[in-house]
């Protein structure tokens, strides 16, 4: 009998120990951020309750047999929470996930801040959807992107977010000026300003006339292919090729035109270029 008793005790211990250790708290699989949660308990006596979350940890004394109330402020951050209840020589635990609540803000990245006109897929918009506690809203939401330039109809497109992100590529407008780039979702709007500037010059035209000092060359008003005046400061290169050799002058556009005085005495052929764009050529005769 003496030999059997320890064996029985051991067997009972081995059978009961796993059941104690394996006791789980009754928890939902997921709840929305900022929700209230009630956890039922059984037994009697005092116990310590722990809640371990992504940005919040709590420890408090509770009474077994009574419900444990989790306040909305304790489960604001999305992520995995572990609840542990220790008391009466046993420990129960469980975990649940807090997922984002309804969308409340957009984190909107617009790129670039300055872009030439008429650029295909040149404007990039990326919007991340967050709830009011800065949790990423992963369920699909429709984000409306709108690019509106002054005196031009806005271009709009809707995109479904995937895993919290919606993105779009849009063409820049044909007219230079500031454009409002908006991402919107359920009354939430984020606006960025995209400066649309003239693109490269188009159809460079020059005229040249001889004067006492040499040759004065001047462009016609320099415009891009959409008719926008090219920004002041854009460099225009005049090249003169004559018996005296090749000479080059770089000048910035000022008030839509670029001009330079070339000190050429003999006949020459003068050409113009800006960036990769070539203009016309003019021939001038030698000084009398």
Partner 1 sequence: MKQITCVGTAALGCPGGSQTRLKVVLAFLALVLLLCLPSFAADAPQVHFDTSHIGPRQMEDVTGRNIPRDWGRAWQTLAIALEQNRPDLLGRYFSGFAQQKLAATIATQLKTGLRTRYIDHGHKLAAYFYSPDGGALELHDTADLEIQVFDGNDLVHSDRVTLHYIGLMTPAADHWEVRLLESVPSF
Catalog residues that contact partner 1 under the rule CB under 8 A: 29-30, 48, 50, 52, 54-59, 77-80, 82, 84, 86, 91, 93, 95, 97, 99, 109, 111-112, 124, 126, 128, 130, 134-136, 138, 162-165, 167, 169
Q: Between 86 and 114, whose beta carbon lies closer to partner 1?
A: 86
Torsion of CA 230, 235, 238, 244, to 10 degrees: 180
Instruction: Please report how close the Cβ of residue 184 comes to partner 1 at its closest, in angstroms.
Output: 19
Instruction: Please report how close the Cβ of residue 77 comes to partner 1 at its closest, in angstroms.
Output: 6
Q: Between 162 and 283, whose beta carbon lies closer to partner 1?
A: 162
Q: Between 53 and 279, whose beta carbon lies closer to partner 1?
A: 53
Instruction: Please report how close the Cβ of residue 144 comes to partner 1 at its closest, in angstroms.
Output: 19
Q: Between 93 and 241, whose beta carbon lies closer to partner 1?
A: 93
Q: Between 54 and 177, whose beta carbon lies closer to partner 1?
A: 54
Instruction: Please report how close the Cβ of residue 157 comes to partner 1 at its closest, in angstroms.
Output: 15
Instruction: Please report how close the Cβ of residue 52 comes to partner 1 at its closest, in angstroms.
Output: 5
Query: How far apart (Å, rounded) are the C-alpha atoms in residues 126 and 239?
Result: 45
Q: Between 124 and 220, whose beta carbon lies closer to partner 1?
A: 124
């Amino acid at each position: 009998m003496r030999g059997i008793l320890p064996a029985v005790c051991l067997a009972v211990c081995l059978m009961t120990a796993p059941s104690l250790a394996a006791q789980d708290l009754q928890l939902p699989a997921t709840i929305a951020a900022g929700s209230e949660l009630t956890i039922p308990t059984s037994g009697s006596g005092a116990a310590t309750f722990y809640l371990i979350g992504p940005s919040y940890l709590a420890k408090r004394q509770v009474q077994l047999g009574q419900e444990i109330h989790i306040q909305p402020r304790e489960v604001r951050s999305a992520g995995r929470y572990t609840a542990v209840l220790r008391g009466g020589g046993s420990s129960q635990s469980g975990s649940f996930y807090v997922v984002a609540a309804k969308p409340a803000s957009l984190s909107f990245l617009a790129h670039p801040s300055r872009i030439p006109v008429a650029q295909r897929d040149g404007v990039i918009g990326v919007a991340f959807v967050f709830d009011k506690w800065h949790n990423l809203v992963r369920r699909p939401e429709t984000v409306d992107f709108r690019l509106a330039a002054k005196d031009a109809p806005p271009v709009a497109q809707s995109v479904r977010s995937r895993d919290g992100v919606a993105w779009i590529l849009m063409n820049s407008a044909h007219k230079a000026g500031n454009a409002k780039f908006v991402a919107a979702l359920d009354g939430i709007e984020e606006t960025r300003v995209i400066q649309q500037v003239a693109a490269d010059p188009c159809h460079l035209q020059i005229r040249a006339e001889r004067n006492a000092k040499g040759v004065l060359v001047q462009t016609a008003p320099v415009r891009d292919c959409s008719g926008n005046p090219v920004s002041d400061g854009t460099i225009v290169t005049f090249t003169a090729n004559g018996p005296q050799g090749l000479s080059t002058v770089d000048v910035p556009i000022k008030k839509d035109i670029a001009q330079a005085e070339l000190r050429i005495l003999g006949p020459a052929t003068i050409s113009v270029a800006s960036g990769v764009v070539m203009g016309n050529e003019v021939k001038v005769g030698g000084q009398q």
